[in-house]
Amino acid sequence: MSSLEKDSLTKTYREVGPYLGLGLQLAATMVVMIFIGDWIDKKYDTSPIWTLVFGILGIFTGMYQLIKTALHLQSRKSKDDKKL
């Protein structure tokens, strides 16, 4: 692989890298919130109320974080593009 190809590949990874974790972040937030709701349901014998509440809260929280992070990364990319 030539140095030009390596530079191009490195640039691509640098641009795409921050976006790769967004899906994992969304899924992790939802799973953690569902486990918290399940734990509360088992502790107080209220199944499935808290699992549903925390599951929905996890979806909204995860989506909020996803959108917030994507907008931040996009604005950072725009600023970097203007510098060039």
Please state, as a whole number, how many other Cβ atoms lie within 10 Å of the Cβ of residue 18: 14
Q: What are the tens digits of pLDDT across the range 14-63? A: 878 878 888 889 999 999 999 999 999 999 999 999 999 999 999 999 99
Instruction: Considering only the C-alpha atoms of the chain, give the largest distance between any 2 of them, rounded to a whole number of Å.
Output: 63
Distances (CA, A) of 38 to 27, 46, 79: 16, 9, 43
Per-residue pLDDT band at 1 (split at 50, 70, 90): low
pTM for the model stands at 0.76
